[in-house]
Amino acid sequence: MDLFGLEGEVAVVTGALGKLGPVWVETLLAAGACVYALDRPGQPLSPEFARLQDAAPPAQLALGRADVRRRGELEEALRDCRSRFGTPSVLVNNAGVDTPPSAAGGGRRIEEIPIEETLRVFEVNTAGLFLCSQVFGAAMKEAGRGSIINIGSLYATVSPDARFYDHLACDPPFVKPPAYGASKAAVLNLTKYLATHWAPFGIRVNALSPGGVLGGQDEDFRRKFCARVPLGRMAVADDLRGPLLFLASRASAYVTGVNLQVDGGFTLW
């Protein structure tokens, strides 16, 4: 099982203080990697990340600050990562923004969604991911090895089902804006693009697309969503650890350009 070990590897995780960031960080740490966690300036520590920070030695975990939309900040983060741990060999492009229903309710018609909101989602989820891949991928290219894992979504391949939200009491009804899924669909194409161009330099590029992850959704949403999943439930953190470790490690040495869907079968029908 040494194929799954990451001893001696240096991993960068963007969006490390978000919902899934600590899951990726903890998984990589447990496999033996040094982890350079990255999030934007001003983003507060999450309780989950603070717990990891308390448990892991500074020689294995560090938190850097950079906005994925700012190349200069990313280049400074790369220098900091190299000074602490060495050249990164794993990059988890996790940073992203979404637009879930707000606690206060309220919806909008599709024709009323501001273009500025749409552009911001693409700027972070797609352009920011590409910028991170450019900066950290260039370092991997120099080293002649690396694994880039782009975090996608089930909505990269299917449209959100508006019936999941029709129990929310608002007029106009809540609709999930199209930018999130469209930006993640673009990530899948970028994954294939980078996989073909960087394969000669020993860099593998894959996508990991989680399905719905349990985390504070209302009961009606969970019921309707789970009825649509062949395995009958939403994902939990432990469902995501193995797939990430597979793509980050030598266990997937001959795998590149794929989209690994971890969605309980949601996208099968």
Check if the beta carbon of residue 172 is closer than 8 Å to that of residue 109. Answer: yes
- Residues sharing a CB contact under 8 Å with residue 258, sequence separation 6 or more, in sequence order: 206, 207
- For the chain, domains (ranges, CATH) are 2-260 (3.40.50.720)
At CA 63, angle to CA 57 and CA 66, rounded to 5? 165
Residue 174: helix, strand or coil by DSSP?
A: coil
* Residue bearing tokens 């120099």: 142
Structure confidence at residue 108 (pLDDT) = 81
Q: At what angle do helices 71-84 and 129-143 cross, to 10 degrees?
A: 40
pLDDT mean values, one per 10 residues, the chain (269 residues):
93 97 98 98 95 95 98 98 98 91 67 92 97 98 98 96 89 87 98 98 98 92 96 97 98 98 95
Report how far residue 98's alpha carbon sits from residue 110's, in angstroms, rounded to the nearest whole number: 16
Phi, psi of 169 (to 5 degrees): -85, 90
Structure confidence at residue 102 (pLDDT) = 55
Structure confidence at residue 26 (pLDDT) = 98
Structure confidence at residue 65 (pLDDT) = 98
Check if the beta carbon of residue 32 is closer than 8 Å to that of residue 80. Answer: no
Q: Which amino acid is at 63?
A: L
